[in-house]
Amino acid sequence: MWKRRKFWLGVIAVLVLGGASFYFYTQTLEAATAQEVEEAAVQTAVARVGDIVVSATGAGSVIAAEELSLGFSTSGTLTDLLVEVGSEVAAGDVLAKIDDTDAQQALVNAQLQYQQAAMQTDASVTATGVSYDEISVAQAQISLDLAQAELDDLLSWEADPDEIVLAEASLAAAEASYNAALGQASASSASIAVSGISVDQAERDLVDAQGVYDTAFDSGRDWELNDPRRADALESERERAADSLLRAQESLEIAQLNYNSTVASSSSGSSASAQTSLLSAQQALADAQSGPTEDEIEAAETAVRQAELTLQQALLNQEANEISLTQAALTLQTAEDAVEATVLTAPSAGTVTAVNAGVGETVGSDLITLVDLSQPLLELFLDESDLNMVGKGYDVEVVFDALPDDTFTGTVIQVNPQLVTESGITAVRALVQLDADSFAKPQTLPIGLNATVEVIGGRADGAVLVPVEAVRELSDGEYAVFVMEAGEPQLRFVEVGIMDFTYAQILSGVDAGEEVTTGILQTQSE
């Protein structure tokens, strides 16, 4: 590996006069060189084929490719801790849990509220396949259609001769029925009166029979029983009186039953019903002849308006319930997220480097530190003078202090655009991605492991090389060398690639094997 060092170019001083032509410049340079050759011997070297590397050395240490601080979105009591420092986890592994009692209860409540809101407006969740809102809207629509149809009928009314004839026939029948009912009621009244007279007569007969009975059974006549001549007569009298009283009582009961039956069979109710039918028939005929009144039309219009408002209210309720369902869904999602938040999972694979609490403690957002060690990075610091020696995509070679016999390779993936100060020294900061193929797995590189890093600023294999002393810089970015031709140095312009402390890469202008001058040999006399 070649080390970089500063060097001075130019063995022969070349003065460029302002305003002189390039031709004059080259002729003057060649003339001066020829004069020097006559005075002293020329030192030469042969252009050769070889490899050249330009690099800068810096210090680095291993850092994690990704470091995550993991915790819970809300504080809670830690109930489960499933990892410890050094644990390797995969993406999705459960790391810890906090008490989820309140979150589970909130989830149950949110699920019930969502079900209720869904049944109100979402037909897909009901057993019947119809939501309450759909039923309300359909009922309101039916009511509106009926009210509108009734109003249309009233507004488009025309007298129907057939309907008038039918109404007249119904009225005639109702009148006949009413008259018949009146006749039947009159006959019933007469029968009631006769039955009442029979009851009155039976009551008088009972009073008379009771008087005869009381006379016959007067206790003041009991002495007659002791008189043989009167005893038989008194017993016969009393027997007749008792029979007469019994018959009078029975006659009254029969008369009363007849009266009650007559009253019950009276057709007064039939006459009232017949009168109602008559009035209805009269109204039907009037309606068939005259059509709807203004009040009826106004009432029908009001009914239509009320039905329209009812339908609009049902539609508004449906819209409001859909909003409520959306809100319930959001509440449910929040509750589900809250339950999920009680379980801490690894967002990616990594290694646990810190655990900040134990089971039973109240924890929050900072519980576990997870780092990715699968592709370790190096944090590299170079002296600011080497800024031009490092860039994104540059190769590096790494030797760790703890592994001096192994050489790792990598690539610069980032160069900090701002210089940093470390320990009072201004430096260039860069990140290096180590090649996984440059070291055997599962070798672990601990975070903080120190290393010496060589940044390869340029590399050329099989290049034409000449000593740096042979290269003359004519102006910014323009170079030339003196090539020996027939024993004489001839100035030749060249394209220079990379240079280290010793050699320069010649891209064009000189071929391998040609002899170039590197300076003037001092003579013995000098």
Question: What is the bridge-based pairing of β-strands 42-46 and 368-372?
Answer: unpaired
Instruction: Report whether pLDDT(441) > 60.
Output: no
Residue tagged 């309450």 (tokens): 132
Q: Cβ distance 397 to 56 under 8 Å?
A: no
Q: Return the higher-pLDDT residue of 390 and 289.
A: 390
What single-letter amino acid sits at 368? I
Confidence of residue 42 (pLDDT cuts 50, 70, 90): confident
Contacts of 100 (CB under 8 A, 6+ apart): 339, 342, 343
Confidence of residue 185 (pLDDT cuts 50, 70, 90): low
Could you give the C-alpha distances from 279 to 96, 177, 290, 389, 427, in angstroms and in order?
88, 12, 16, 118, 115
pLDDT tens digits, one per residue of 447-482? 889 999 999 888 889 999 999 999 999 888 899 999
Lowest model confidence (mean pLDDT) among 30-44, 151-165, 355-369, 486-500: 30-44
- Answer whether residue 239 is part of any domain: yes
Q: Is 273 exposed, middle or buried (0-12, 13-18, 19+ CB in 10 A)?
A: middle
Could you give the C-alpha distances from 225 to 214, 235, 239, in angstroms and in order?
17, 8, 14
- Answer whether residue 9 is part of any domain: no
CATH number at residue 55: 2.40.30.170
Q: What angle do CA 17, 18, 21 make, to 5 degrees?
A: 80
- Answer whether residue 106 is part of any domain: no
Residue 507 phi, psi (nearest 5): -85, -30
Q: Which helix (H) or strand (E) holds 356?
A: none
Lowest model confidence (mean pLDDT) among 6-20, 42-56, 73-87, 134-148: 6-20
pTM score: 0.48
Give the Cα separation of 208 and 183 in Å (integer): 38
- Do 281 and 231 lie in one domain? The reply is yes
Confidence of residue 106 (pLDDT cuts 50, 70, 90): very high
- Do 120 and 179 lie in one domain? The reply is no
SS3 content of the chain, % helix, strand, coil (to 5): 45, 30, 25
**H, E, C per residue of 121-186:** HCHHHCCCCCCHHHHHHHHHHHHHHHHHHHHHHHHCCCCCHHHHHHHHHHHHHHHHHHHHHHHHHH
CATH number at residue 190: 1.10.287
Residue 342: predicted pLDDT: 94
- Do 310 and 209 lie in one domain? The reply is no
What single-letter amino acid sits at 184? Q
- Do 397 and 515 lie in one domain? The reply is yes
- Answer whether residue 3 is part of any domain: no
Could you give the C-alpha distances from 462 to 56, 313, 507, in angstroms and in order?
22, 90, 11
- Do 380 and 516 lie in one domain? The reply is yes
Among 279, 310, 332, the domain boundary falls at: 332
Residue tagged 């601990």 (tokens): 446
Q: Cβ distance 192 to 267 under 8 Å?
A: no
Q: Which two tokens mark 293?
A: 């009144």
Structural domain total, the chain: 4
Lowest model confidence (mean pLDDT) among 49-63, 124-138, 427-441: 427-441
pLDDT tens digits, one per residue of 315-350? 999 999 999 999 999 999 999 999 999 999 999 998
- Answer whether residue 476 is part of any domain: yes
Structural domain that includes position 76: 70-99+344-371
Instruction: Report whether pLDDT(26) > 50.
Output: no
- Answer whether residue 16 is part of any domain: no
**Of the segments 27-41, 137-151, 275-289, 364-378, which one has the largest average pLDDT value?**
137-151
Could you give the C-alpha distances from 526 to 11, 411, 522, 523, in angstroms and in order?
17, 53, 6, 5
Residue 521: predicted pLDDT: 53
Mean local confidence (pLDDT), 364-375: 87
CA 201 to chain CA centroid, nearest Å:
98
**Of the segments 277-286, 288-297, 304-313, which one has the largest average pLDDT value?**
304-313
Residue 516, beta-bridge partner list: 45, 483
Residue 188: predicted pLDDT: 67
Mean local confidence (pLDDT), 158-181: 81
Confidence of residue 443 (pLDDT cuts 50, 70, 90): low
Q: Return the higher-pLDDT residue of 260 and 452.
A: 452
Lowest model confidence (mean pLDDT) among 256-265, 266-275, 320-329, 469-478: 266-275
Residue 164: predicted pLDDT: 81
Confidence of residue 98 (pLDDT cuts 50, 70, 90): very high
Mean local confidence (pLDDT), 2-7: 28
Q: Which helix (H) or strand (E) holds 252?
A: helix 228-264
**Of the segments 22-36, 96-110, 160-174, 380-394, which one has the largest average pLDDT value?**
96-110
- Do 367 and 452 lie in one domain? The reply is no
Mean local confidence (pLDDT), 38-65: 84
Give the Cα separation of 364 and 356 in Å (integer): 10
Instruction: Report whether pLDDT(7) > 50.
Output: no
Q: Cβ distance 209 to 316 under 8 Å?
A: no
Helix axes 161-216, 268-290, angle to 10 degrees: 170
Mean local confidence (pLDDT), 1-6: 29
- Do 433 and 490 lie in one domain? The reply is yes
Q: Cβ distance 71 to 344 under 8 Å?
A: yes
- Do 380 and 499 lie in one domain? The reply is yes
Instruction: Report whether pLDDT(242) > 60.
Output: yes
Question: Using the 8-state DSSP alphabet, how is residue 435 labeled?
Answer: P
Confidence of residue 28 (pLDDT cuts 50, 70, 90): very low
Residue 158 phi, psi (nearest 5): -140, 145
Q: Return the higher-pLDDT residue of 22 and 117.
A: 117
Instruction: Report whether pLDDT(4) > 70.
Output: no
Residue 464: predicted pLDDT: 94
Residue tagged 């290096």 (tokens): 432
Give the Cα separation of 148 and 152 in Å (integer): 6
Residue 328: predicted pLDDT: 94
CATH number at residue 356: 2.40.50.100
Q: Cβ distance 77 to 523 under 8 Å?
A: no
Confidence of residue 25 (pLDDT cuts 50, 70, 90): very low
Q: For the chain, what is the mean pLDDT?
A: 83
Contacts of 21 (CB under 8 A, 6+ apart): none
Instruction: Report whether pLDDT(440) > 70.
Output: no
- Answer whether residue 79 is part of any domain: yes
Residue 372, beta-bridge partner list: 66
Q: Cβ distance 439 to 376 under 8 Å?
A: no
Residue 266: predicted pLDDT: 59
Omega of the bond prior to 489 within 30 degrees of 0, cis?
no
- Do 153 and 297 lie in one domain? The reply is yes
| Residue 350: count of CB within 10 angstroms of its CB | 26
Residue 72: predicted pLDDT: 94
- Do 312 and 356 lie in one domain? The reply is no
- Do 354 and 417 lie in one domain? The reply is no
